[in-house]
Amino acid sequence: MVFVGVHGEWGRIDVTQADLGCGQDRASIYKTKPPAPLTCYECDWRLHLVHKTHGAYELWFLRHAANAPHCEARLAGEGMAHHLLKLDLAHHARTAGWSAEYEVAAPDGSWRADVMATSPDGARQVALEAQMAAISITGIKARTDRYAAAGVEVCWFTDRKTVPWLDAVPSVRVARPEDGGSVQITAGAAGFEPEWCRDRADCDWNSGCVQGAVPCGGHGKWSAVEPFPLHRFVAAICANATRPHRLRVPSWEKGEIWRWITRRYFELEEEQVRATAWRKQVMERLATIQQRQREAKAAAEREHMAAIEALLQRQKALVKPVVEFVFHEARAYPKVGSDGIPEFAMGVPVYVRGKPYAVICPVAGRVPALRDALVPLVLFAATERERDRIAAQAAPGQRVEVLAAELPATSPVPAQREQGGLTIKQAVNRMFGLDRM
């Protein structure tokens, strides 16, 4: 069954309209003798008008005469469900104040719309496609793209419970109630449910990759709307109150999703999209700052460890020259401590006859707290620069001697002193008194 044919005198006719779309009436072509000059727009085969009652529907359609050849229009028009849905789509568009024509083809034949709805001012055209037959995602996307290239909007309608392309193009699923009620939209339209943290400046769902407060990016989601009548949906399309939209708030289960939405839901999603972008910027900035802080801390720790290692190396290198110096000065053989200790500003103590006599390379920063205890002692340094640092912190007149020593090259982050000495970690623990806790 098809709805559109060609009259030998009047041209194109639409039998779903009482005036046939050309100012005539159905009686002038229904069961007339001789038969009305009606032919198929696709195959030029003779057609005749048929009238049937189907439930609440008064059906008028055209049927090919016997022995008709293969015809795309005939094949496309097969099926009562397809026929009824096209009638509903055209009727609802016309009720909304638009014109609606069946089987409207592109001038170059690249597409043919089941129902072409056109706004009163002609500014908008929407192809209402009743797609009951199986079609691939690739195929329906290609047809959608051809409509877009021609400046024609499109919505695909199907009554199939499962279709692979429902998310891939602007489309909806319909259902016809068994009790004869109005056709319902059951899938393809969506509403946005916003959700925000109570304190939008500090998100409860911080991913944990950064420290500190991170603004809420929104936790809203899209959800299917409750079924509603087809006539409301078609009217909303004509009023431009609903539009096809590729969802930007992602679904964790699926990829690209198209849904019909209203402007209010678009604005709610837009708010979350912007908040999510801002959250991402803040997190990236925090991550950069905190990474720099970690790198600076690591560099400071490396520098600190290198300074400790250099101190240990200086102290080790000065042991022999200090022993010789003290022996000649005190006329007694000195005893040198094994390591630097806090009581001597992390310097290595030197004893003569059991009493403190000198300190090898004390840490300058620790000297002020121990000035009174260090005043009677000789402080030794390995370089003039080290002597100046120690002298600047020591008591006025404090004796600080520089002894020449051959200092070995030190690695930036040494692993371990030679056997019998302290590791860097042990030296640090001792410096801070942690080995006594």
Give the whole-angstrom CA distance, residue 45 versus residue 69: 8
pLDDT at 431: 46
- Total residues found in the chain within this entry: 437
Q: Which of 34, 37, 33 is CA-nearest to residue 24?
A: 37
Task: Look up residue 204 and give its two tokens.
Answer: 């409860």
Cβ neighbours of residue 93 closer than 8 Å, sequence gap 6 or more = 99, 100, 115, 117, 126, 128, 234, 238
- Contact present, 358 and 315 (Cβ < 8 Å): no
Least confident of 20-34, 55-69, 122-136, 222-236: 55-69
Instruction: Report d(CA 49, CA 431) in Å as an integer.
Output: 105
Report the DSSP pairing between strands 378-381 and 355-360: parallel
Query: What pLDDT sits at residue 259?
Result: 96
- Mean pLDDT over residues 114-122, rounded? 96
What integer pLDDT is reported at residue 437 of this predicted model? 42
Of the candidate ranges 23-37, 397-411, 421-435, the one whose mean pLDDT is the lowest: 421-435
- Predicted confidence at residue 429, as pLDDT, reads 53
Q: Which amino acid, one-letter code, is at 177?
A: P
pLDDT in tens, 349-407: 999 999 999 999 999 999 999 999 999 999 999 999 999 999 999 999 999 999 988 87
Mean pLDDT, to the nearest integer, of 171-196?
A: 92
* Average pLDDT of the residues in 304-325: 94
424 pLDDT more than 90 = no
Phi and psi angles of residue 30, each rounded to the nearest 5 degrees, phi first: -95, 115
Weakest mean pLDDT among 53-62, 92-101, 321-330: 53-62
- Higher local confidence (pLDDT), 189 or 44: 189
Res 337: pLDDT? 94
Can you give the pLDDT at residue 56?
A: 64
Closest CA to 358 of 369, 374, 382, 370: 374
User: Residue 399 contacts by C-beta under 8 Å, 6 or more apart in sequence?
Assistant: 377, 378, 379
pLDDT at 53: 74
Cα 286 to Cα 21, 84, 277, 282, distances in angstroms? 67, 60, 14, 6
Query: Helix H segments across 49-136?
Result: 72-76, 80-95
Q: In which band, very low, low, confident or very high, does the pLDDT at 209 lie, cut at 50, 70 and 90?
A: confident
- Three-state secondary-structure class, residue 405: coil
**Quick one: pLDDT band at residue 415, thresholds 50, 70, 90?**
very low
Query: Which of 36-40, 228-232, 417-421 has the largest mean confidence?
Result: 228-232
Distance set, CA 395 to CA 134, 375, 391 (Å) = 96, 7, 8
User: What are the pLDDT digits (tens) for 130-161?
Assistant: 998 889 999 999 999 999 999 999 999 999 98
With b for 16 or more beta-carbon neighbours within 10 A and e for fewer, the 192-228 pattern comes to beeebbeeeeebeebeeebeeebbbbbbbbbeebeee
Pseudo-torsion of CA 425, 428, 429, 431, nearest 10°?
A: 160
**0.85 cut: is pTM over it?**
no
Q: Which of 37-46, 185-194, 371-380 is predicted least confidently? A: 37-46
Mean pLDDT lowest for which of 50-64, 219-233, 265-279?
50-64
CB 234 within 8 A of CB 286: no
Tokens of 365: 């920063």
pLDDT in tens, 48-87: 888 887 666 777 888 888 888 887 666 655 577 888 899 9
User: Which residues contact residue 274 at a Cβ distance below 8 angstroms, ignoring those fewer than 6 apart?
Assistant: none
Q: CA distances (Å), 247 to each of 154, 191, 192, 216, 281, in order?
A: 18, 11, 10, 20, 22
Instruction: Tell which residue, 267, 246, 263, has the closest CA to residue 167.
Output: 246
Q: What is the mean pLDDT of the chain?
A: 88
Kindly state the average pLDDT of the residues 417-423. Answer: 47
CA 48 to chain centre: 58
Is residue 45 pLDDT above 60, yes or no? Answer: yes
Strands 190-193 and 221-224: antiparallel
User: What percent of the chain shows pLDDT beyond 90?
Assistant: 65
Q: Could you tell me which residue, 139 or 210, shows the higher pLDDT? A: 139
Residues with Cβ < 8 Å from 264, sequence gap 6 or more? none
Given a cut of 50, whether residue 320 has pLDDT beyond it is yes
Q: Is cis: bond before 34, omega within 30 of 0?
A: yes
Q: What is the pLDDT of residue 80?
A: 78
Helix, strand counts (H, E) of the chain: 8, 21
pLDDT at 3: 81
CB 11 within 8 A of CB 101: no
